[in-house]
Structure 1
Amino acid sequence: MMEKKYQILFLVLLSMLAFNCNRNEEYVNYTDANAPAPEQVSNVLVIPKSGGAHLVYKIPKDPNLRYIKAVYETTSGSRWEVKASYYTDTLKVEGFGDTNEYDVKLYSVGKNEKESEPLIVKVKPLQPVIQSAYETLQIAGTFGGINIKLQNPERANLAVVIMQDTLNNGNYTELTTYYTAADNINFSVRGMDTTEKKIAVLLRDRWNNKTVQKKSNIKPWFEKLIDKGSWRALELPGDTYEYVESYPLRKIFDGGFGYCCLFATRNYQLPHTFTIDLGRPVAISRMRTWLHPEAAYGGSHPKDFEIWGANTVNPDGDYVDLPNRIYRDNWQKLGTFKSFKPSGEGPVTAEDRDYALNKGEEFDFEAGIPTVRYIRFKTLNTWGISSGQVQVVIQELTLWGQEGK
């Protein structure tokens, strides 16, 4: 009985193989190698766009037509091709770095890959993103380096190239390049002394278009990394320092990263507060935080928060309005901050995770804030919840500035 089943299965497989072989033998290639090239497109309408244009045309009635092709050169001199099937009557050309007029060649291409004579159309793009972003570019000195700001509302992929004339001979060499598609671009290059620097910045897009250099003489402000050896976690009445599992507040400044070394609170009613004794007075210039190892811009990630400072702390925590976390006058607000997500609204991207978990979110304090020994981190809401009870998780907190005596 078993042998009979195998025989039947063998015959079925043999029949399927024979069917496939016969079907391949019967395949007919309907492409006519001798067919002429299709006619050109006609009635082309050029609709200018930022850095490019939409080309709307009438498709030739030719059964041999396979697709329409546009060939053009951008500002950088690069040659580009764009194709559209015969099911659509529109092509998009892009990558132009200015608003000059360009020739675009349109070809009708047949199933045998024969091309029609080119139909040349004139394209005059609207201002490209790289130029509109460049108009908003700001270069300024900041603590330990230079700060770059610009607007990119269309969230184009941009490379911000920072250069310096280190030999004072007019030759600017690259320091670093910052790649981003954020809408509000704001970053700093650190590690500089306080001598004046000759800095230049240009923008480059994914078509290799470049802006001119914007030059500026910048004098960075003095700062140093604040040593954490004397820091101490305070457990004050009214603070939300109680933690889950093995993640106490002291781990926020232990220099470690990952699940071994984070501070994770219990669920508390917002706003949250915790207090750290820095061990000595500090004039804070900037702060960097690293958040939950896996939940960047998620439920426990602080979104809006304040940093407060004081030089004296009372045993009762100095709370005069506990539900709203209002303090006595010995506490001064040092800054109000909003967590920055490089990609803006929408899903969390690789760029977002790299910023929050590898580089660390960075926050600048205004110059002239008072020197303080104690700081209080007040979380107003998180990315996951704007009110109610919530957990806050922070891996590490680091400060820069000037130490007092």
Structure 2
Amino acid sequence: MKKINRYSTKTGLWALAMALVCIIGSCKKNDGYNKEPVSTDKAKPGVVTNVQVKNFNGGAYITYDLPNSENILYVLAKYNINDKTARETKSSYYTDTVAVDGFADVKDYEVTLTTISRANVASDPVKVTVHPNTPFYKLVKPSLTIATDFGGVAINALNPNRKDLGVILIALDNSTKALEVADQHYTNTDTISYTVRGFPSVPTKFGVYLTDKFGNLSDTTIVTLTPLFETQLDKTKFSVYKKASDSDIGYGWELPYLWDGKTDGYSNGWHTQPGTGKPLQCTFGLGVLTQLSRIKIWERPLEYAFFHGNPKNFTFWGSSKESPADVVLPASASVGTVVGDWVNLSNYRYPNPPSGLQPGFTNGTDEKFVEAGVDFVVPTSAPPVKYLRLLVHDTWGKGDVTHLMEVSVYGKPQ
């Protein structure tokens, strides 16, 4: 057995410990940034030259030649985009262009360019004039319309460049007797189309305008409109109107559960029987002839959100007949198509998960969206109906069954 030299081992450990102390002692506290100046050269840097401007919608690209110096850190552009907002834009030493944007109007604006050194010393200012093209919020404004709708007003606009815009609705407040903000809708879709509800059916002064991400405001369109009367139909008057082409019921989820007021994932709803080969459809009576405004549905929530048998693409058909005859409806038809006693009220697609996640990987935000229910607007051109037939074309799970928790129907009874 080899004898251990305890003295040499102890000496080695001591040397190692002292080395660690030296290393630790030589370390400096890191405050997350370097307090030393980037450069000690305090000389004023030269200015940019050969400045040129290329305008675009709401802004401009400014190109230039940098002074011949390795001590330059960036070029700073300062400018006012409207009568109350100042902006700054920086462009690094490695590029010859700075973009300035957010301008409110089509007119001359002054931009001040300064070269900043690595020692944070600014050059003399160079002033340049830009003349932006029409900003996008002003391009969209002429297409912005506001019109009477059931329970409120319908707002539409075209935003082909898909810019971030806010649509602001104001309405006369009876308590303050002033136009107050009633709704704010932010979007970057190419087509803006939605309805703001909750207003009585009396003449009301409304206004609507656009804003962009820079806080610029368009002019306001002021109108006086009378929202169409809308009420939720009495569900106690709903009735099953089962016909031969309707789906068989599965798992005891009978059709009346579709209007029992329960939207949680633990109660029964309407559920079809798998494997029957029949269309995924149901038919029920409303109890009163009604000019429909919208139909609100609650899909099955929790782990079924955007999954399993929840409808994805579907159509509501309607009939005004007292006893509409059964008919096998086409799998695809345009709005307004009449087949027997039934008319296509509209074709719908349930929205994608608001989180942007793929179905099957949804989160709590998506579940709350499903639990809140979704409105599907019925065109004002649709005729009054007394019966509804829901025809589901496909589901999120792409299976041969479908299910729903609840349906509410709104409109103006005749």
Q: Deviations over 1:283-318 (max 9, x none)?
A: 31222234454677778664543211123557xx82
* 1:305 alignment counterpart: 314
State which structure, 1 or 2, has the greater radius of gyration over its C-alpha atoms.
2
Residues in 1 aligned to 2:50 and 2:103: alpha-carbon distance in whole angstroms: 23
TM, length-normalised to structure 1 = 0.79
Q: Deviations over 1:151-208 (max 9, x none)?
A: 2223333222212245699942322322333321112222222221121111122211
* 1:259 alignment counterpart: 265
User: Larger deviation: 80-89 or 225-234?
Assistant: 225-234
**Which of 361, 370, 390 is matched with 1:377 structurally?**
390
Q: How far is 1:390 from its partner?
A: 5.5
* 2:344 alignment counterpart: 333
Q: How far is 1:267 from its partner?
A: 6.5
Q: How far is 1:74 from its partner?
A: 1.0
User: Larger deviation: 47-56 or 30-39?
Assistant: 30-39
* Pairs within 5 Å for 1:50-65: 50-65=57-72
After superposition, the Cα gap between the structure-2 partners of 1:281 and 1:203, relative to the gap in structure 1 and judged at 3 Å, is same
Q: How far is 1:243 from its partner?
A: 4.6
* 2:413 alignment counterpart: 403
**Which of 217, 223, 245 is matched with 1:216 structurally?**
223
1:166–1:198 Cα contact (<8 Å) kept: no
* Pairs within 5 Å for 1:27-176: 29=36, 31-166=38-173, 171-176=178-183
* Pairs within 5 Å for 1:11-30: 15=19, 18-19=22-23, 21-22=25-26, 24=28, 29=36
Q: How far is 1:85 from its partner?
A: 2.2
1:247–1:264 Cα contact (<8 Å) kept: yes
Q: How far is 1:355 from its partner?
A: 9.9
Q: How far is 1:65 from its partner?
A: 1.6
**Corresponding pairs, count:** 395
1:146–1:190 Cα contact (<8 Å) kept: yes
Q: Deviations over 1:30-73 (max 9, x none)?
A: 63344223322333332222211222333333222222222111
After superposition, the Cα gap between the structure-2 partners of 1:320 and 1:293, relative to the gap in structure 1 and judged at 3 Å, is closer
1:273 correspondence with 2:284: no
After superposition, the Cα gap between the structure-2 partners of 1:49 and 1:187, relative to the gap in structure 1 and judged at 3 Å, is same
| Residue aligned with 1:135, SS | helix
After superposition, the Cα gap between the structure-2 partners of 1:366 and 1:42, relative to the gap in structure 1 and judged at 3 Å, is same
User: Larger deviation: 100-109 or 135-144?
Assistant: 100-109
2:60–2:130 Cα contact (<8 Å) kept: yes
**Which of 358, 362, 367 is matched with 2:380 structurally?**
367
* 2:295 alignment counterpart: 287
Q: How far is 1:224 from its partner?
A: 0.9
User: Larger deviation: 294-303 or 173-182?
Assistant: 294-303
After superposition, the Cα gap between the structure-2 partners of 1:354 and 1:260, relative to the gap in structure 1 and judged at 3 Å, is closer
2:210–2:218 Cα contact (<8 Å) kept: yes
Q: Which ranges of structure 2 fall in alignment gaps of 5 or more residues?
A: none
1:76–1:209 Cα contact (<8 Å) kept: no
Q: How far is 1:76 from its partner?
A: 4.6
Q: Percent identity?
A: 25
Q: Which amino acid aligns with 1:278?
A: L
Q: Which amino acid aligns with 1:363?
A: F
* Pairs within 5 Å for 1:176-195: 176-195=183-202
Residues in 1 aligned to 2:353 and 2:144: alpha-carbon distance in whole angstroms: 17
CA RMSD of aligned residues (A): 4.3
After superposition, the Cα gap between the structure-2 partners of 1:237 and 1:270, relative to the gap in structure 1 and judged at 3 Å, is closer
Q: Deviations over 1:329-362 (max 9, x none)?
A: 122222334556699x998999x95995376433
Q: How far is 1:232 from its partner?
A: 3.9
Q: How far is 1:328 from its partner?
A: 5.7
TM, length-normalised to structure 2 = 0.78
Q: Which ranges of structure 1 fall in alignment gaps of 5 or more residues?
A: none
After superposition, the Cα gap between the structure-2 partners of 1:86 and 1:283, relative to the gap in structure 1 and judged at 3 Å, is same
Residues in 2 aligned to 1:253 and 1:358: alpha-carbon distance in whole angstroms: 15
